[in-house]
Structure 1
Amino acid sequence: MPQLNTSTWLLTILSMIFTLFALLQLKISKHFYLPSPKPTLTKLQKQQTPWNYTWTKIYLPLSQSQ
């Protein structure tokens, strides 16, 4: 029964690892990364309601003294 020749395995495995590393680096270098989002300050808009325009006084007829 012939023996398996393993003398080239180390070279094959090392070249495979180097090739995969190079391909991964090329793929990552061509990828476009978006800049990290920065928090922006939003201005609170004041809700315009009818009672903000003018001041009105409510009179209750029963609460007035005569």
Structure 2
Amino acid sequence: MPQLDTSTWFTTITSTLLTLFIIFQLKTLTHQFPINPQSTYLKQTKQSTPWEKKWTKTYLPLS
């Protein structure tokens, strides 16, 4: 049974990681981010639900 040649693994893994890093950097450079983002105030409105308008009976457990 022949031995597995692992002499090129370091070069392959290193070049793969370097390539992925460069691709990631190029992808993030294409995005435009605002310099000074302003927080927007979102007005919260209360939504009425059907069960808030109705009375419900509460039954006590049998003793």
What RMSD over aligned residues (CA atoms) do the two structures have, in Å?
Answer: 2.0
* Partner residue in 2 for 1:14: 14
* TM alignment of 1:1-66, pairs within 5 A: 1-38=1-38
Q: How many residues end up aligned between the 2 structures?
A: 40
Letter in 1 for 2:11: L
Distance 2:9 2:24 in 1: 22
Superposed displacement of residue 2, structure 1: 0.6
Letter in 2 for 1:28: T
Larger radius of gyration: 1
Deviating above 6 A after TM superposition, structure 1's stretches of 4 or more consecutive aligned residues are: none
Letter in 1 for 2:36: S
Distance 2:37 2:11 in 1: 45
Gaps of 5+ in 1: 40-66
TM-score by length of 1: 0.53
Distance 1:18 1:37 in 2: 32
TM-score by length of 2: 0.55
